[in-house]
Amino acid sequence: MFEPQIMCFLCKWCTSSAADAAGTSRLHHTPNNINMRVMCSSRVDPQHILYAFKEGADGVFLGGCHPGDCHYVEGNYKTLRRITLFKLMLRDLGIDPKRLRLEWISAAEGKKYAETMTEFTEQIRALGPLHLNEKALVQEVVKDE
């Protein structure tokens, strides 16, 4: 069975805390996600998402605080605007916009986090592998170490 790689950017205050809460409550979900904790969902540059696709992610997930709850006043609104526009660009690049998902998950919503992880994994599994790394559409941004 195809095992997709899901890259997750989680805001420290809400969705990352929800991931911790899911752990504490032992809410099992598919192991396909790899999480990166960022201070705010608005720290995520569309370049990061594009780079994740290029490096082998089949799906990218962004988690932030619910509207009105952003720790940084309005970072999540900035994210929403960016991602809405970026999805149009993804389509033009030949990447199904469904491979990018933005969700508001509060620190109290461990269950929603676990369910979303499984659901998104299955959704990407159904879409199949992206293979963008082979197509090498994106310019190399980090020099070899």
Q: Which residues bind another protein (CB under 8 A)?
A: 5, 7, 17, 19-20, 22-24, 26-29, 31, 34-40, 42-45, 47-48, 51-52, 55-57, 71-75, 78, 82, 114, 133, 139, 141-143, 145
Question: The tokens of 73 are what?
Answer: 């006043």
CB of 115 to another protein, least distance (A): 12
Tokens at 12, concatenated: 């420290």
Minimum CB–partner distance for residue 41 and another protein (Å) = 9
Largest CA distance in the chain: 43
Closest by alpha carbon to 10, among 30, 36, 33? 36
In the bound state with another protein, the residue whose beta carbon lies nearer, of 43 and 98, is: 43
Distance of alpha carbon 96 from alpha carbon 82, whole angstroms: 17
In the complex, minimum distance from the CB of residue 17 to another protein, in angstroms, rounded to a whole number: 7
* E runs forming strands in the chain: 6-11, 33-38, 59-64, 100-104
Please, what is the minimum distance in Å from the beta carbon of residue 67 to another protein?
Answer: 13
Q: Specify the residue, 88 or 142, whose C-beta has the smaller distance to another protein.
A: 142
Q: 69 or 94: whose CB is closer to another protein?
A: 69
Interatomic CA distance for residues 99 and 38, integer angstroms = 20
Is the Cβ of residue 94 or residue 141 nearer to another protein in the bound state?
A: 141
